[in-house]
């Protein structure tokens, strides 16, 4: 599965701790992240992560493009609901794309834990079925 890992500044330490706790599961999958978050996770865990730009510089939109092309299976986005974000429209667009394309999305540690454990238990097999179908836009 392809998993995107994103975290706002005040949530980056939570994402690093989450990645450490679930490293045995995450290392079985293809990981993507926005710039700084991805670097912090790689430094702490040694996980291989494809890094995009940081969120404010377009990283959220780069991940959104993968979602729109059915090239992302899960998004874990630790948001800071108490801080204004200068790129809020990009964040809302990313969340909207997850809803439009039925991409499982966790925006906090509790939901992320349930999602990652469900992944490990094989509860997201429907994504594999979707990924095996030819693209209808061809």
∠ CA 124-110-79, nearest 5°, is: 100
Residue 58 Cα distances to 14, 31, 68, angstroms: 22, 18, 15
SS3 123: coil
Name the active-site residue from 9, 14, 43, 60. Answer: 60
134 sits in the region (left: phi over 0; alpha: psi -120 to 50; else beta) called beta
Specify whether 14 is catalytic.
no
Q: Are the beta carbons of 93 and 67 closer than 8 angstroms?
A: no
Catalytic residue IDs: 60
């Amino acid at each position: 599965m392809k998993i995107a890992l994103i975290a706002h500044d005040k949530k980056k330490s939570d994402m690093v701790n989450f990645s450490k706790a679930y490293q045995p599961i995450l290392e079985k999958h293809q990981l993507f992240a926005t710039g700084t978050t991805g670097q912090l996770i790689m430094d702490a865990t040694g996980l291989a992560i494809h890094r995009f730009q940081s969120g404010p510089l377009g990283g959220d939109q780069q991940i959104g493009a993968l979602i729109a092309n059915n090239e992302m299976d899960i998004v874990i986005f630790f948001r800071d609901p108490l801080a204004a974000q200068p790129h809020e429209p990009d964040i809302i667009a990313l969340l909207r794309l997850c809803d439009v394309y039925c991409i499982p999305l966790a925006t906090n540690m509790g939901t992320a834990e349930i999602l990652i454990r469900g992944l490990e238990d094989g509860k997201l097999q429907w994504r594999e079925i979707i990924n095996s179908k030819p693209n209808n836009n061809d």
